[in-house]
Amino acid sequence: MKVRELGIDGAYAFEPEVFHDERGSFRSPYQEAVYGAALGRPLFPVAQVSTSSSRRWVVRGVHFTATPGSMAKYVLCTGGRALDVVVDVRLGSPTFGRSERVELSPEAGTALYLPPGVGHLFTALEDDTVMVYLLSAAYRADKERAVHPLDPELGLELPGGHARVLSERDRSAPTLAEARARGLLPWYADCTAAVPDGGGR
């Protein structure tokens, strides 16, 4: 498995080796020894596993969770194909405002580790795109936050030439500047203090 540190502080991409034969293929998108060597700790105790299914050109995000209680995520695509965009919305982070795109698909098996407070968006590039999320904390609606995916300040490069499908929540989400002014963005120091240490396993 290849490990790549993204341009977002604390975020990583894990790219497993894929084995092919006459039956099909096999891959292991999470390997604790590799993850532990890269981050210096095992994966967080998984509190919840969630999935989403999206039709082509659906955009979900940019979503993140507030502190205290922000969650870490391990994200992969098990059906279809997605363009994932990781966005640093943590105030005081050395990579604040930066974003990075990673294509996810079942064929590649690439998975992303997103530390607490880091924003996340994806665009479904095919119908029936299925995303799987391993979460370090249970979902709480009162902790969910969003910034607008088309905010010019973020400058996210999303596929064009078609009608994007967004939820009402994402269409009405504040810009990064508005979220900052309203005190909605998490602080980097609080997020790093909230990183799960893999204890209790």
**CB within 8 Å of 24: residues ≥ 6 apart:** none
Six-digit token pair at 178? 């508005």
Nearest to 52 by CA among 124, 132, 123: 132
Active-site entry in 35, 74, 133, 188: 133
pLDDT of 195 = 86
Task: Write down how long the chain is.
Answer: 201
CA count, 13 A, side-chain hemisphere, 97: 10
Which DSSP symbol is given to 165? B
pLDDT of 198 = 60
Cα 25-27-29 angle, rounded to 5 deg:
150
Alpha-carbon span 33 to 10, nearest angstrom:
18
Q: Is 133 a catalytic residue?
A: yes
Active-site entry in 12, 35, 63, 120: 63
Alpha-carbon span 128 to 116, nearest angstrom:
28
Alpha-carbon span 81 to 56, nearest angstrom:
9
Strands (E) in 80-194, as ranges, are: 82-87, 99-104, 111-114, 119-124, 129-135, 144-146
Six-digit token pair at 125? 């590039």
Q: Do residues 88 and 8 make contact, with C-beta atoms less than 8 angstroms apart?
A: yes
Q: Is 162 a catalytic residue?
A: no
pLDDT of 201 = 36
- Which mean pLDDT values do the consecutive 10-residue runs of the chain (201 residues) have? 97 96 94 95 95 98 93 97 98 97 97 97 98 95 96 94 94 98 96 75 36
In CATH, which of 2.60.120.10, 3.30.420.40, 3.40.1160.10, 3.30.365.10 is domain 2-192?
A: 2.60.120.10
Helix, strand and coil percent figures for the chain, each rounded to 5 = 15, 35, 50
